[in-house]
Amino acid sequence: MRSDDTRQGSDSLQTSSRSRLTRYADRGTGDFDRIAEILDAAKICHVGWIDEGRPIVLPTAYGRLDDSLILHGAADGRFMKVLASGAEVCVTVTLVDGLVLARSAFHSSMNYRSVVIFGRATAIEDRAEKLRALDVLVEHLAPRRSAEVRPITEKELAATTVVLLPLVEASAKIRTGPPIDATADLELPIWGGVVPLTIEAGVPIPGEGSEALPLPISVIEATREKTAATGP
């Protein structure tokens, strides 16, 4: 999420046996700036936790406010009640940048950027902080949108729980580049290479009552956004 406050430097976040990479460790990093870059580029995260002995994973929108991830939902919903209680969670974010097609299925892969975050969330109780967090979340989906929509009502604010998940223990894993074929396979008459993938906004579709209205700046900027591949 875009924030006016920028963390200085390029610190490494905390890791443990659960967040430290063991396979292809050279593709991993705990660098805060790299992790923030991936979080800012994606739109959806998946939140996992253990609920009465059962694993549950839910996709949801998010935003980033400085050193924390912002999550929100219905105040009376199970999801937010669990997060606000301080339950331990695992949050993942993934961007797929390309299909890596090797000459064998075994060596085929994907180019991707991913982040895994471990921690416990805290509910935001202060009204001003809660409003700021919601604005950050809205603008993560559509830049400058918070200034265009009507202000949230007190009833809507009360019906919404917003939590902060500190970016304390997290790691990123990134793969770029071409296939890594077995040497013997390079002589096979089989095409190998990368098919780049991007997420790109389409033409805006107006809702009821908006057909005659000009596009607001948030929609114009959202249509310009493109999550591009990091390289072949």
pLDDT tens digits for range 46-102: 999 999 899 999 999 999 999 999 999 999 999 999 999 999 999 999 999 999 999
- Does residue 70 fall inside a structural domain? yes
Q: How far apart are CA 1 and CA 29, in angstroms?
A: 20
Query: Residue 99 pairs with which residues in a beta bridge?
Result: 110, 195
| Domain carrying residue 47 | 25-97+109-178
| Percentage with pLDDT > 70 across the chain | 86
pLDDT of res. 18: 60
Q: Is 58 part of a structural domain of the chain? A: yes
**Is 125 inside any structural domain?**
yes
pLDDT score recorded for residue 27 = 76
CATH number at residue 165: 2.30.110.10
pLDDT per position as a tens digit, 1-27? 333 333 444 576 666 656 566 665 677
Cβ pair 113, 171 in contact under 8 A: no
Q: What is the pLDDT of residue 97?
A: 96
Counted domains in the chain:
1
Query: Could you tell me if residue 69 is inside a domain?
Result: yes
Q: 118-138: per-residue pLDDT in tens?
A: 999 999 999 999 999 999 999
Cβ contact 99:195 at 8 Å = yes
> Can you name the residues that pair with 45 across neighbouring β-strands?
60
The average confidence (pLDDT) of the chain is 89
State the number of CA atoms in the 13 A half-sphere of 135 facing the CB: 14
Residue 78 lies in a domain: yes
Q: Which helix (H) or strand (E) holds 128?
A: helix 127-141
**Burial of residue 47, with CB atoms counted within 10 A of its CB: 0-12 exposed, 13-18 middle, 19 or more buried:** buried
Residue 12 lies inside a defined structural domain of this protein:
no
Is residue 203 domain-resident?
A: no
User: Is position 33 within any domain?
Assistant: yes
